[in-house]
Chains A and B, each alone.
Chain A
Amino acid sequence: NAGVTQTPKFRVLKTGQSMTLLCAQDMNHEYMYWYRQDPGMGLRLIHYSVGEGTTAKGEVPDGYNVSRLKKQNFLLGLESAAPSQTSVYFCASKLSPRDPGLEQYFGPGTRLTVT
Chain B
Amino acid sequence: GEDVEQSLFLSVREGDSSVINCTYTDSSSTYLYWYKQEPGAGLQLLTYIFSNMDMKQDQRLTVLLNKKDKHLSLRIADTQTGDSAIYFCAESPSGGYQKVTFGTGTKLQVIP
Chain B residues within 8 Å of A100, by CB: 30-31, 92-94, 98
Contact of A90 among B31, B43, B100, B103 (CB under 8 A): B43
Interface size on A, residues (CB 8 A): 25
Encode contact with A along B91-111: 1 for CB under 8 Å, 0 otherwise: 011100111101111000000
Is residue B40 within 8 Å, beta carbon to beta carbon, of the partner chain? yes
CA distance A31 to B100 in the complex (A): 12
Expressed in whole angstroms, the minimum distance between the Cβ of A88 and any Cβ of chain B is 10
CA distance A94 to B99 in the complex (A): 11
Q: Are A42 and B88 in contact (CB under 8 A)?
A: yes
Contact of B42 among A44, A45, A56, A90 (CB under 8 A): A90
Q: Are B42 and A109 in contact (CB under 8 A)?
A: yes
Chain B residues within 8 Å of A94, by CB: 98
Residue on A nearest B33 in the bound complex, by CB: A103
Contacts beyond the supplied A56-B97, A100-B98, A101-B31: 18 A-B pairs with Cβ under 8 Å:
A35-B102, A40-B8, A42-B103, A50-B97, A90-B42, A92-B42, A92-B43, A94-B98, A100-B31, A100-B92, A101-B48, A101-B50, A103-B45, A103-B48, A106-B43, A106-B44, A108-B41, A108-B42
Can you list 21 A-B contacts with CB-CB less than 8 angstroms, sorted by A residue number?
A31-B97, A42-B4, A42-B102, A42-B103, A42-B105, A43-B102, A45-B99, A50-B97, A92-B42, A97-B97, A100-B30, A100-B94, A100-B98, A101-B50, A103-B48, A104-B43, A104-B45, A107-B42, A108-B41, A109-B40, A109-B42
